[in-house]
Amino acid sequence: MSISLIVPCYNEEANIQKGVLDKIGNFTKHNSDFTEVLIVDDGSTDLSKKIIKAEYLYQFPKFKLIENRHQGKAFAIITGVQKAHGNIIMFSDIDLATPIEEANKLIKEVDNGYDIVIGSRNNKREGAPILRKLMSIGFIVIRDMIIGLKGLKDTQNGFKLFKRQVALKIIDRLQVFHNKRTAEGSSVTAGFDLEFLFIAIKLGYKIKQVPVSWLHVETKNVNFFSDSLDTLEDIIKIKYYDLLHKY
Give percent above pLDDT 70 in the chain. Answer: 83
pTM, full prediction: 0.88
Q: How far apart are CA 200 and CA 171, in angstroms?
A: 10
All domains of the chain in start order, with CATH = 3-243 (3.90.550.10)
- For helices 73-83 and 191-202, the axis angle rounded to 10 degrees is 50
pLDDT at 145: 86
The residue type of 3 is I
With a cut of 80, say whether residue 14 has pLDDT above it.
Answer: yes
Q: How far apart are CA 81 and CA 247, in angstroms?
A: 20
pLDDT at 179: 67
Q: How far apart are CA 160 and CA 209, in angstroms?
A: 9
Q: Which of 87-96, 175-184, 219-228 has the lowest mean pLDDT?
A: 219-228
The residue type of 215 is L
The tens digit of pLDDT for each residue in 80-125 reads: 999 999 999 999 999 999 999 999 999 999 989 999 999 998 655 5
User: Torsions phi, psi of 120, nearest 5?
Assistant: -105, 135
pLDDT at 229: 80
The average confidence (pLDDT) of the chain is 88
With a cut of 60, say whether residue 74 has pLDDT above it.
Answer: yes
More confident call, 227 vs 176: 176
Q: How far apart are CA 111 and CA 132, in angstroms?
A: 35
| Confidence bin at 178 (pLDDT 50/70/90) | confident
The tens digit of pLDDT for each residue in 226-242 reads: 667 888 889 999 999 99
The tens digit of pLDDT for each residue in 122-173 reads: 655 555 556 565 566 666 778 888 888 877 888 888 899 999 999 999 999 9
**Side-chain-facing half-sphere of 194: CA atoms under 13 Å:** 25
More confident call, 223 vs 64: 64
More confident call, 151 vs 38: 38
